[in-house]
Amino acid sequence: MSNIILPPQKQMTTMLGHPVAENPIDRMFDEVYAHYGLHWQFWKCDVTSENNIPAAVAGVRALGFAGACITVPYKVVSIPHLDEIDEDVKAIGAVNYMTIKDGRLIGHNNDGKGVVKAIQKVTPIAGKRVVMLGAGGAGRAMAVELAWAGASHLTLITRREAQGTEVAQTVTRASGVPAEWVQWSGEVCVPEGTDILMNATHLGAAPQLEPVPVNWGTVSKSTTVVDVITNPRITPFLNASRDMGCPIVNGVEMLVQLAMQIFEAWTGIKPDEAVFQRAVAKALGE
């Protein structure tokens, strides 16, 4: 009888969220793991209820995952179930990934760092007036990081007053930058003088591809338009912006920037950006 040599157990990483089906993050990470010769794998876990978050987070520890991402709508509610959070999470009030050290789950947030790097490839942030549509777990992190990056003013347009005012207060408390809440009601009229307009909602994601209800007559051609959606790369929101001649920043670029930081935190390997860019393009079938 011949001896069968079994491959080593794969080191698992994951993402907890709902919905997660259209997010290309698993295919991107698996491609990068393979490039660096790592016997690792990435699993997306669709946690359909907030009631299951305590068990899901506990499962990350119990099943020996090497790291985990946390996406909408659980970036805030997951915090009490972690063992430790870093200073960014304390300031922002949301978490988007965790590292595991000696069995302890440590929460971090680099959502905003990813979007700042992506925007700065197109335009400086310092001194700019920013308008953000939506202010959920990712949006609040981005708002704070944009303020830390030197934005002069933030306007948060949301349907829920409690959410918008709380995030505006968080921004000012964390950075000293003035921030205000504006009610989202019907078609959004973008305030005059807006330098950066960002969609931080789910509108435009595959497969629905819903348009963001913006009055494009109120948007200047000099406004840089940003979308956090990762699939498709060019959303209806960005397509309309590009047709107007506005500079655009897509969510895939943001994903690449934050994913590289997460990869390095999990593996200790500083990745080549080109590897991630090729991996995400392949994941999206581009």
State pLDDT tens for residues 180-205.
999 999 999 999 999 999 999 999 99
Say what the pLDDT of residue 58 is.
Answer: 97
Q: Would you give the end-to-end CA distance of the chain in angstroms?
A: 47
Q: Domain for residue 258, yes or no? A: yes
Q: Could you report the per-residue pLDDT of 250-273, keeping only the tens digit for each? A: 999 999 999 999 999 999 999 999
Report the chain (286 residues): mean pLDDT per 10 consecutive residues. 74 96 96 97 98 98 96 96 97 96 96 96 98 93 97 97 96 97 96 97 94 97 97 97 97 97 98 98 95
pLDDT attached to residue 2:
61
Residue 1 forms part of a structural domain:
no
In a domain, 3, yes or no: no
In residues, how long is the chain?
Answer: 286
Domain count, the chain: 2
Question: What is the Cα–Cα distance from 114 to 20, expressed in whole angstroms?
Answer: 19
Residues 159 and 211 grouped into a single domain? yes
pLDDT of residue 5: 75
What global pTM score does this model have?
A: 0.91
Q: Annotated catalytic sites, by residue?
A: 75
Residues 229 and 157 in one domain: yes
* Cα–Cα distance for residue pair 93/148, rounded to 1 Å: 15
For residue 222, the enclosing domain spans 112-249
Q: What is the CATH number of the domain that holds 61?
A: 3.40.50.10860
Asked if 237 and 214 count as a contact pair (C-beta separation under 8 A), the reply is yes
Residues 193 and 229 in one domain: yes
H-assigned helices in 98-250: 111-120, 137-148, 161-175, 236-244
